[in-house]
Amino acid sequence: DIQVTQSPSSLLASLGERVTITCQTSQSISNNLNWYQQKPGQAPMLLIYYATSLQTGMPSRFSGQYSGRSFTLTITSLEPEDIANYFCLQHYSAPHTFGAGTKLELK
Amino acid sequence: EVQLVESGGGLVQPGRSMKLSCAASGFTFSSFPMAWVRQAPTKGLEWVATISTSGGSTYYRDSVKGRFTISRDNAKSTLYLQMNSLRSEDTATYYCTRDAHRAPFDYWGQGVMVTVSS
């Protein structure tokens, strides 16, 4: 199985701050990685698919990049509604595997 | 609007069975493969099973093979997960998700909790 290492596991940030979350895969997956946001008691929401494509309806302050086996999710300017858990998913090969998640909290 | 609503969870004893359902709306259900994903308390997410559009092909993670069965009723736009011989390690919130080619796992339900305990 492809291992996905997500960091940090938790993150304190201020409103307006630039936030970056990273997922590293154990082998090359091309761009086959998605990013999700999940708030307590709610369904996960797709933010970014195929590493860089913004899901329809998601704010443009969210963006995804990748280089080799390293993938990043960036929030350019943190808004209050961005406080949530974030996780990544590799869908290059079965079984699809997830990062452990990042809990984003307000400083 | 795409909606996925899971039901059927609860408390069950080890070794017993439980069947989850996921009612889909807002899209042509029969056109999309579907999947179940779970998250144990304080643990990460893990894929459980996937089913093709017709139901003719199914895929499972090793730990549930032979115990879980994923199925679908396209006429009712409903996805199922039959879970037999349940173990304590199956305790988790179970999510159904749409496995779209454009964006795998693009829509998720809110999840249903399954607790396996005596």
Cα–Cα distance measured from residue B93 to residue B115, given in angstroms and rounded to the nearest whole number: 9
Task: Output the CA–CA distances (angstroms, integers) from residue A99 to A4, A21, B61, in the order listed.
Answer: 5, 11, 17
Confidence bin at A41 (pLDDT 50/70/90): confident
Q: Which chain B residue is nearest to residue A31, measuring alpha carbons?
A: B103
Q: How many CB pairs under 8 A join A and B?
A: 51
Q: Does A61 touch chain B (CB under 8 A)?
A: no
Helix/strand/coil percent split, chain B, to 5: 10, 55, 40
Among the partner-chain residues B46, B59, B103, the one whose CB lies closest to the CB of A98 is B46
A34 vs B61: CB contact, 8 Å cut-off?
A: no
Bridge partners (DSSP) of residue B46 are: A97, B38
Nearest to A27 by CA among A69, A56, A60: A69
Which residue would you say has higher pLDDT here, A40 or B115?
B115
Which chain A residues are within 8 Å of B5, Cβ to Cβ? none
Residues 6+ apart with CB under 8 A from B85: B15, B17, B67
What percentage of chain A exceeds 90 in pLDDT?
95
Count of CB atoms situated within 10 Å of the CB of A78: 20
- pLDDT, tens digit (0-9, with 9 covering 90-100), for B3-37: 999 999 999 999 999 999 999 999 999 999 999 99
User: pLDDT tens, B59-76?
Assistant: 999 999 999 999 999 999
Q: What is the pLDDT of residue A83?
A: 97
Q: What is the mean pLDDT of residues A58-80?
A: 98
**Spatial separation of the C-alpha atoms in residues A107 and A95, rounded to whole Å:** 36
Mutant choice from B36, B43, B108 vs A, greatest count of A C-beta within 10 A: B108
Q: Is the peptide bond before A8 cis (omega within 30 degrees of 0)?
A: yes
* Placement of tokens 């069975």 in the chain: B17
Query: Are A50 and B103 inside 8 Å of each other by CB?
Result: yes
Please report the pLDDT score of residue B70 as a whole number: 98
Distance linking the first and last C-alpha atoms of chain B: 40
pLDDT classification of B42: cutoffs 50, 70, 90: confident
What is the distance in angstroms between the Cα of A90 and the nearest Cα belonging to chain B? 9
Closest to B36 in 3D by CA, of B102, B95, B117:
B95
Instruction: Give pLDDT tens digits for B78-105.
Output: 999 999 999 999 999 999 999 998 899 9
Q: Quick one: what percent of chain A has pLDDT higher than 70?
A: 100
pLDDT at A60: 97
Q: Which residue has the higher pLDDT, B41 or A86?
A: A86
Q: How far apart are the C-alpha atoms of B14 and B90, rounded to whole Å? A: 9
State how far the Cα of A36 lies from the Cα of B114, in Å rounded to an integer. 23
Distance (Å) of CA B69 to CA A96, B83, B84, B95: 18, 7, 8, 15
